Structure 1
Amino acid sequence: MDGHTNGTNGSCSKPCEPLTDYCIPDYILNPDSEQVLVDQAPCCPVVVFINSRSGGQLGSSLIKTYRELLNKAQVFDLSEEAPEKVLHRLYCNFEKLKSNGDPIAFQIQSNLRLIVAGGDGTASWLLGVVSDLKLSHPPPIATVPLGTGNNLPFSFGWGKKNPTTDQEAVKSFLGQVKKAREMNIDSWHIIMRMRAPQEGPCEPIAPLELPHSLHAFHRVSGSDSLNMVRIMKRPGGQWEELKIPRSIRSIVCLNLPSFSGGLNPWGTPGTRKVQDRDLTAPFVDDGLIEVVGFRDAWHGLVLLAPNGHGTRLAQAHRIRFEFHKGAAEHTFMRIDGEPWKQPLPKDDDTVVVEISHLRQVTMLASDPCKSKSVNDPSSPMCCSNHDDDERNSLEDEDEWEEGRKKFGAADTFKFPDEVDVAHLS
């Protein structure tokens, strides 16, 4: 079977010769399909994930177009099937076929690229799943802007306006995916810890539907005003208290050069100011998260001033927020574009939110790309490696580690026992 073949089993729906570069044979995608002889592997095989609920009717329309141009079996509606299930099935089948000596499976796995269309929350969901797979050569990811903020696509050169969904527009995007360059981006781990109340019902810590990047493993209730922020500048280093100016009303932690739909959140500080505060240029792969303060309690209001920006407070490998009892009953939080109203403590309890560096995933970047790599000589103010001579840790690190193990975008992901994960590539 090849891209020219018409059929009823999910093959390309009509002859479209250029798209054979992207079409994946059925037997690669479905373990139950009969293996067939294929002369040549596609040079840019893609698996497409689309959130049909994003962008109004655009999501559903985009699914229809991709399925017209590619193998229907390689285009997935995220409202119907989670990405971890798709990739679990696909990579298990890769291993089975490669063990049987199938060279096409090996080539497709080596050249595989993922496309995700949806908002920032949808894209981050897929990035988290791929990160959790811990593959030695994870497939790079291209993002289609199909939400409100679209900060991920905008940061890597894919634009921020929702796309048109006709065949020519999709063909053009696929051409960009084939030409795109790979670029690493840091993956971050977030954990919230709080004690369940002794009396009364437990309240959810977030909306009834948690963002896909969060998983509740205890039902607990909430806390009050921000009391302390601690940062760790390098792995294994010491925690130090971050002094927050009294004028700061909200804090944003991010690893992208774009916030709130294209805003540059930290402006362009002078060289002397950067050196005085021990700050480097913001890179997406340096293992450091940017901590930016705003004078507004509502992050979106900074858009009212076109040149407005926040104040860079710090760069950290790990950051911890501690909330104690105070005047407020709740605070507003947002992760990957997903907001909720977080209850705060009414007693002497403490709510802690920790963000820590996890690993890296690979993005696909198209020009113009706003994200900068610390390993790119053309990037301004490349920083040297930090010394890693401080190894102090907190007494409760074991407790945090236990919590970390229970979190992950693909927390149910597990290869069958007969698959040797160490050999996945």
Structure 2
Amino acid sequence: MLDHRLDSEYEELRRTVAEFAADVVAPTIGDFYEREEFPYEIVKEMGRMGLFGLPFPEEYGGMGGDYFALCLALEELARVDSSVAITLEAGVSLGAMPIYRFGTEEQKREWLPRLAAGEMLGAFGLTEPEGGSDAGATRTTARFDEATREWVINGTKCFITNSGTDITGLVTVTALTEPIARSSEEGGEASPKREISSIIVPVGTPGFQVSKKYSKVGWNASDTRELSFTDCRVPEANLLGQRGRGFAQFLRILDEGRIAIAALSTGLAQGCVDQSLQYAATRRAFGRPIGANQAIQFKISDMEMRTHLSRLAWRDAASRLLLAEPFKKEAAIAKLYSSEAAVDNAREATQIHGGYGFMNEYPVARFWRDSKILEIGEGTSEVQRMLIARELGMSS
């Protein structure tokens, strides 16, 4: 018999994070958001709680939990604020997880304890200015210098979360390491095969430059920047995983990350329901609470439906991941549905709040500004539909 209820350990975690979000994040995050300021004290407290170490083994400084636990935390944080949630999501699933999944024992022991403690943030350098959804069209290069046994990196990355904070310690970048000749069919001319590898670049490495913060529509209390590399040299040992497997490694990381973004999206969608219920009960018009009007009831009912289905979708994908079952299609479905549900709920919550929904002092204004990026980051809605179609056996 199936039981969709959380066990006691998961429920305790969910409740703990929910209380932290309500008591610590909610009262102050609006000010950080308006100042476009990174909330260092909140992040530090999240580190003390062990949130950055949730899915990692204790031997590397983690909490000995799993990816499902991380997603539970992300949903509860995003229920109050997405800037804080995306800082955790990117720090764990994009910053630390590549090292845990593909790093050597030395790399894990060097980096993971500080990343898991939240003392240091890692970033994920994949997207490039002319790449976007075509992440395989990497132009950043990494030439191996035989004389010094170093990688020499040149290129630019954009839209990189957690890359320029005072506690950012590393960025893992994908780079074109060497084209390998590949013979074409029927004896034609050889064509180059793009060899993409992953390399760890510590912050402060000469030739590694971090730009000023982007001016963004949403996620204003999170850190997002462009990165440039000019003859940036790192040791041979900074290669992450097998040479030439960098792109395949990051595809795996993105598959997992889509579950995390689905959980974050579900949290935002739930926050919209929470705020709308509260407002509908207290806002009076024409002599009665607006929640007494069927039009408002139907809007909130649809919002609750979308939130519920989003939660079921990400939990299904996360469960498949934990059971080591195929989950690529389910992750794409969860990310696609929940991100669009978040956008729809944010729009309806703003409408329910009327003019107040357009005022930044109300959380729904922040939700509305934060929601759209969920349909874009870690694979656009169009890319998710392509992935689902491919998993169904359809090809273009």
Regarding TM over 0.5, the answer is: no
TM-score normalised by length of structure 2:
0.28
Specify which structure has the bigger relative contact order, considering alpha-carbon pairs within 8 angstroms and separated by 6 or more residues: 1
Pick the structure with greater CA Rg: 1
Q: Which structure carries more helix by proportion?
A: 2
Q: Which structure carries more strand by proportion?
A: 1
